[in-house]
Amino acid sequence: MTKKDNKKNFWLEEFESFYIEGEGSKRFVNGITTNNMNLDVPFIQACWLNPKGILRALLEIHIFKDKLLLVNIEGNIGEIKDFFENMIFPTDKVFLSDNFPIFRLQKLEKDQPWRKFEPKIFINKDPKKYCLDHQIELLKSTNLEMWKIWQAIPRLNSEIDGKNNPLELGLYDLVDFNKGCYLGQETMARLKRISSLKQEIRVWSANILNKNYELNDKKIYLNENKKIITGTITSFLFPSSKKVIGLAMMKKNYLNQLIYFYNEELGSIKVEKSVGSAFF
């Protein structure tokens, strides 16, 4: 990001959400998501997995006195809601509200993980006056998308694709390995026990002559001879007419020493670890 971009250090975005109400709410959510709902904190970020430990959604749960607010940071809100509703038994004493949009405001730092800063939630309120009163300058759309890539925030139908688990996606800190059973827990425990991942998410960048094309070749090779595939591009963005950046799932055994790899369309590409990713 440029110096000008660094001045715009707040992220404001609208997200879909719903309330989880009832005396059994914490226990219910604790059995579905990866983080510990019994911590004494105002909000918790967690993953929703399938039974095989594959990431389906990235969630943020705000804890109020009499209910929880589930914010869908990245995922399919319809699938989340349907699954939660199907998991409720009468003995759970849990009720779900209708979906509704909320605005979420968060401070940004280029060199700090996005999960470090506590967000502010606006329910049935327009955040524009708050931002004006507090002299908050917001990242514009393109710069925000670029910041999300540098933070390696996984996106639905890109990195959240039915194949990747949260540890590979750098969301290790959103998984509590000491709490009780939850959906996908056995896979997470096994991966932690063997301390091994086959691939990890990375940020990549390359120089281009123009941006008037689609990146069709998603393979990342070890070098120009293209004999060894080292990773797969999952998303990309053109921040300028001469540069492209994106995310890729890279095979871990090629990441220890190498920085530069090769793509047939882009040529040499630089692969870097994101400050927003946490790996064991």
Domain parsing of the chain, residue ranges: 3-150, 197-280
Encode burial over 233-259: b for 16+ CB neighbours within 10 A, e otherwise.
Answer: bbbbebbeeeebbbbbbbbbebbeeee
The CATH class of 197-280 is: mainly beta
Identify the CA nearest to 150 among candidates 114, 115, 175, 117.
Answer: 114
Q: Would you place residue 173 in the very low, low, confident or very high pLDDT band (cuts 50, 70, 90)?
A: very high
Inform me whether the pLDDT recorded for 37 exceeds 90.
Answer: yes
Mean pLDDT of 28-36: 97
User: How does pLDDT run across 65-81, given as a tens digit for each residue?
Assistant: 989 999 999 999 999 99
Evaluate if pTM is beyond 0.85.
Answer: yes
pLDDT at res. 3 = 42
pLDDT at res. 1 = 41
Distance separating alpha carbons of residues 189 and 209, to the nearest angstrom: 46
Mean pLDDT of 210-239: 89
Inform me whether the pLDDT recorded for 5 exceeds 90.
Answer: no
pLDDT at res. 212 = 61
8 Å CB contact between 264 and 215: no
Query: Strand pairing partners for 14?
Result: 103
The residue that leads in pLDDT, 9 or 272, is: 272
pLDDT at res. 258 = 83
Tell me the average pLDDT of the chain. 92
Kindly report the number of other CB atoms within 10 A of residue 8's CB atom.
17
The answer to whether domain 3-150 and domain 197-280 are alike in fold is no
Q: Would you place residue 25 in the very low, low, confident or very high pLDDT band (cuts 50, 70, 90)?
A: very high
Q: Would you place residue 241 in the very low, low, confident or very high pLDDT band (cuts 50, 70, 90)?
A: confident
The residue that leads in pLDDT, 211 or 278, is: 278
Query: Strand pairing partners for 44?
Result: 61
Mean pLDDT of 266-279: 94
What CA dihedral angle connects 223, 258, 157 and 213, to 10 degrees? Answer: -40
User: How does pLDDT run across 42-65, given as a tens digit for each residue?
Assistant: 999 999 999 999 999 999 999 999
Q: Which fold has domain 3-150?
A: Gyrase A; domain 2 (3.30.1360)
